[in-house]
Chain A
Amino acid sequence: MSNIKEKNIRLALLGAPNCGKTSLFNALTGGRAKVANYPGVTVEYRKGEFSLPNNNPVELLDLPGVYGDCGHSMDEKVAIDAVRGNLVGERSPDGLIFMMDASHINTHLHNVLQAKSYGLPIILVLNMMDIAARDGIEINIPKLESLLGISIISCVAVRNKGRVHLLEFLNEWTAKLFDGSASIPNKENNSLKDLQLKSRQITNTTVRQLGIAPTITQKIDNIVLHPLLGIIFLSGLLIFMFQAVYWWAAPFMDGIDLIFSKLQFIVDSNLPNTWLKSLISDGIIAGVGSVIIFLPQIIILFAFILLLEASGYMTRAAFLVDSLMAKVGLNGRAFIPLLSSFACAIPGIMASRTIEQEKDRLTTILIAPLMTCSARWPVYIMIIGAFIPDINIGFLGLQGLVAFSLVLGGIVFAMIMAFIFKRTLMNNAKSILLIELPSYKLPVIKDYFIGLWDRALIFINRAGRIILPASIIIWFLASYPTKSNGIVGTFAGKIGSLIEPILRPIGFNLEIAISLIPGMAAREVVVGALATIYSLDSEALDGPLKETLQNSWSLPTALSFLVWFVFAPQCLSTLAIMRKETNSWKWPLFAFFYLFTLAYLMAGITYQIAVHLGL
């Protein structure tokens, strides 16, 4: 740590989930943040800097939402360790900004009393005064200040007025923090029960609840939490969301595809025919393009997820499906991340952050790749089209039924694995649901776009950081030492022949073994890889891939290949994002291992059964 850093005043934002900390953080720092997290733990916090009106720089920590100081979950432990200065490489803050939703003051005031015991100068920011007023809550702030013994700043969703007010206050306060004259509150040495008693006494004399009419939030809840209407609304919303992910993204994905083909064309026609041209065109552009093409889907998906989260609806969705998730030991919070994984496991894994309990979050991350992502569809469509007859069984088409059972298979195994993981790896950690349903509110546009931008950057950076070197390596493996007799003579071909004996019992041939190597960039690349391998190696150069496959694969091989893709462990982008979200290679390696084992076993069983049935 440099000396200049030592001189910065460091403040930490503390408060319950959904009280508006992130909004305040963005308002102060402009959203420029460094995200920090810990090895093996899916907890993160944000660090940012801003200058006060007097030009003093301030470092601000945005900590995970916590209620008290007992550290029940990993998030709470991290937040409390950060405040106490127990985090490796982080000094303790000089002052605490405790933030509270003003409309919940009756419920949460004891958390402020708890926070006084950290022995740091502290101020209270009462946020969402407008919502409190809307709900008929009147707060006598001067009296509350004197009873609590700490300064209070009230604001309305951190909009400009509140922000200016807060900055003026921080100007003076940080000066006092700097010369050590800021007052440190008296410690509250009482039990939690006594603190609650004390806080109820304080609110009894300072907070007035006018009228008891149901709030707007309660009126909305009467519809969206209704056993029937609520489910209809949620289903409708999800159907709309997925239509949007597939339909709205399509033109953008075509556009990206076009741009990357154009780039390839430009490189191909302008560079001399050397290894460099092949590296740039076939390696980098094709490889990176195969991953970036999912960016539109990811952005649209997060546009919905962030909206659901910011409006307060997300917790309601969790409420509705909680019983379903409880059956496998998770809680309702895991639902949306798992659902998102049907578009792509990457946003699903990223969306797991909204799950409060660390063990549940980790379990969700591990099973997310089992949801049928959009990259599997090109594979399913090609193989089913080539091998499953287009006939009807009753009202249902056989091809559709096979596709459906592949999707269902993924879900069933995800549930089984969640059940197993919760009972083994997660030490039987009890899943409970104890969440606050926040008041409905309109998202702050700025926060919304900062959130969306963050997600896009995470995808491009983290997935991209792996995909670029991986594309180069894959290109190298598929081009050297010699490509004169097709891919068989390359390293990829050699690795393919090396692993082919291992894959033989599950019915895979040499071509499949080789195709799995370039397929590590993204699952759907396998289709292109097979086309390349066959057109280079077989006589059927101009025959469509479908016919080639029909002629060279048996039905058991095709079925085995389909089942392999239910588990498909070989997606590097997924493993890279797991590495990012868990900040350790332990979990992505474990995920690869368990998915590979399942893929191998289930594809093998499918193949052997199919062969014995004489298919």
Chain B
Amino acid sequence: MTLDQLSCNQKAKITGFDPLFLELETRLREIGFSEGDEVTVLHFGPIGKNPMSIKLNGALIALRKNEAKYIFVKLL
């Protein structure tokens, strides 16, 4: 399952990143995404339910589904 497939208020654990997109993986890691981190989906944008805002550790992060789909998660 990938992060973009979660719905509002669903909690999940990050299990990894798509290995084909290394640069994106670095960016995601730098801003704070990491294996084992817990994410909660909080909001979706008003148009096409995009982008999405999530709670990651203590921070709130906004990203598009286009990037979220490269983050693998496991539902909690």
CA distance in complex: A374, B66 (Å):
38
Interface stretch of the complex, out of A103-111, A297-305, A468-476: A103-111
The listed residue (B45, B57, B58, B63) touching A434 by CB distance below 8 A is B63
Q: Does B20 contact A (CB under 8 A)?
A: no
Q: Does B76 contact A (CB under 8 A)?
A: no
Using A106-B57, A221-B53 as known contacts, say yes or no to A192 and B30 having CB atoms under 8 A apart: yes
Question: Which residues in chain B, 6-48, are within 8 Å of chain A measured between CB atoms?
Answer: 23-24, 26-32, 34-37, 42-48
18 A-B pairs besides A193-B35, A218-B55, A322-B64 with CB distance below 8 A are A68-B30, A104-B32, A107-B56, A108-B59, A114-B30, A193-B34, A218-B60, A221-B42, A221-B43, A225-B43, A228-B46, A319-B43, A319-B53, A322-B51, A323-B48, A434-B28, A434-B67, A437-B60
Q: Does A390 contact B (CB under 8 A)?
A: no
Asked whether B32 lies within 8 Å of A437 as measured between CB atoms, the reply is no
Subset of 13 A-B contacts with CB under 8 Å: A68-B29, A104-B57, A106-B59, A108-B32, A110-B32, A192-B26, A209-B58, A319-B62, A323-B45, A323-B46, A323-B47, A332-B51, A437-B53
Asked whether B64 lies within 8 Å of A433 as measured between CB atoms, the reply is yes
Contacts of A225 in B (CB 8 A): 42-43, 53
Contacts of B23 in A (CB 8 A): 72
Asked whether A432 lies within 8 Å of B64 as measured between CB atoms, the reply is yes
Return B53 CB to nearest CB of chain A, in Å. Answer: 6
Asked whether B45 lies within 8 Å of A320 as measured between CB atoms, the reply is yes
Q: Does A67 contact B (CB under 8 A)?
A: yes
Q: Does A435 contact B (CB under 8 A)?
A: yes
Asked whether B30 lies within 8 Å of A435 as measured between CB atoms, the reply is no
Asked whether B58 lies within 8 Å of A105 as measured between CB atoms, the reply is yes
Using A107-B57, A192-B29, A437-B60 as known contacts, say yes or no to A227 and B67 having CB atoms under 8 A apart: no
How many chain-A residues does the 8 Å CB contact rule pick out? 49
Asked whether B42 lies within 8 Å of A107 as measured between CB atoms, the reply is no
Q: Does A149 contact B (CB under 8 A)?
A: no
Return B3 CB to nearest CB of chain A, in Å. Answer: 12
Q: Does A277 contact B (CB under 8 A)?
A: no
The listed residue (A106, A137, A433) touching B51 by CB distance below 8 A is A433
Contacts of A103 in B (CB 8 A): 58-59
Contacts of B62 in A (CB 8 A): 315, 318-319, 322, 433-437
Q: Does A324 contact B (CB under 8 A)?
A: yes
Q: Does A217 contact B (CB under 8 A)?
A: yes
Asked whether A137 lies within 8 Å of B58 as measured between CB atoms, the reply is yes
Asked whether A437 lies within 8 Å of B61 as measured between CB atoms, the reply is yes
Return A305 CB to nearest CB of chain B, in Å. Answer: 19
Q: Does A200 contact B (CB under 8 A)?
A: yes
The listed residue (B26, B51, B63, B67) touching A323 by CB distance below 8 A is B51
Chain A 201-244 interface 0/1 with B at a Cβ cutoff of 8 Å (1 = within): 00000000100000001100110011110110000000000000
Contacts of B37 in A (CB 8 A): 200
Contacts of B56 in A (CB 8 A): 107
Q: Give the B-binding residues of A (Cβ under 8 A).
A: 67-68, 70, 72, 103-108, 110-111, 114, 132, 135, 137, 192-193, 196-197, 200, 209, 217-218, 221-222, 225-228, 230-231, 315, 318-320, 322-324, 326, 332, 432-439
Contacts of A226 in B (CB 8 A): 43
CA distance in complex: A91, B14 (Å):
41
Using A108-B32, A319-B51, A323-B47 as known contacts, say yes or no to A436 and B58 having CB atoms under 8 A apart: no
Asked whether A135 lies within 8 Å of B43 as measured between CB atoms, the reply is no
Contacts of B51 in A (CB 8 A): 319, 322-323, 332, 433
Asked whether B50 lies within 8 Å of A322 as measured between CB atoms, the reply is yes
Using A196-B34, A227-B44 as known contacts, say yes or no to A221 and B50 having CB atoms under 8 A apart: no
CA distance in complex: A104, B24 (Å):
21
Most chain A beta-carbon contacts within 10 A, residue among B28, B48, B51, B56: B51
Residue of A nearest to B26 (CB): A70
Contacts of A72 in B (CB 8 A): 23, 26-27, 30
Asked whether B67 lies within 8 Å of A432 as measured between CB atoms, the reply is yes
Asked whether A67 lies within 8 Å of B30 as measured between CB atoms, the reply is yes
Asked whether A434 lies within 8 Å of B43 as measured between CB atoms, the reply is no
Contacts of A315 in B (CB 8 A): 62
Residue of B nearest to A193 (CB): B29
CA distance in complex: A221, B24 (Å):
27
The listed residue (A68, A114, A436) touching B60 by CB distance below 8 A is A436
Contacts of B30 in A (CB 8 A): 67-68, 70, 72, 111, 114, 192
CA distance in complex: A332, B53 (Å):
14
Contacts of A196 in B (CB 8 A): 29, 34-35
CA distance in complex: A228, B47 (Å):
10
Contacts of B31 in A (CB 8 A): 67, 107, 434, 436
Asked whether A432 lies within 8 Å of B66 as measured between CB atoms, the reply is yes
CA distance in complex: A332, B64 (Å):
11
Asked whether B45 lies within 8 Å of A322 as measured between CB atoms, the reply is yes
Contacts of A435 in B (CB 8 A): 61-63
Return B68 CB to nearest CB of chain A, in Å. Answer: 10
Residue of A nearest to B46 (CB): A227
Contacts of B61 in A (CB 8 A): 434-437
